[in-house]
Amino acid sequence: MADFLHAIVILACVLLPFVAMPLLWRRMKRVRDRAYQGSRERAGTRATAWEETGEAGEGLGVTRRNDPNDDLIDLGDRGRHSRWPLDNN
């Protein structure tokens, strides 16, 4: 009887990750989607373009620019919300 209980415990330990991971993955996706939805509602607007000029050595000027590309931002957003690698709803 003791050998049977040991076999059951070992089998349960081996199967636990295969049962728990899909459940945890689904929960993580729900929480992540809620968080992204909330941040998207709070953000509302896109970042504005800006330019900054500073002095470098020997009288040279350095200019930094930020010009957000809305198409690339949307592409990254779609990738972040994709359902890969698991498609459990």
Average pLDDT over residues 7-32: 91
Domain that holds residue 63: 2-80
pTM of the predicted model over 0.85: no
Residue 44 lies in a domain: yes
Quick check: is 89 in a domain?
no
Total number of domains in the chain: 1
Count Cα neighbours of 67 within 13 Å in the Cβ-side half-sphere: 3
9 pLDDT band (50/70/90 cuts)?
Answer: very high
List Cβ neighbours of 88 (8 Å cut-off, separation of 6 or more): 22, 25, 26, 29
pLDDT digits (tens, 9 = 90+) for 28-81: 888 888 877 776 666 555 667 777 888 777 777 888 888 777 777 666 666 666
Residue 25 lies in a domain: yes
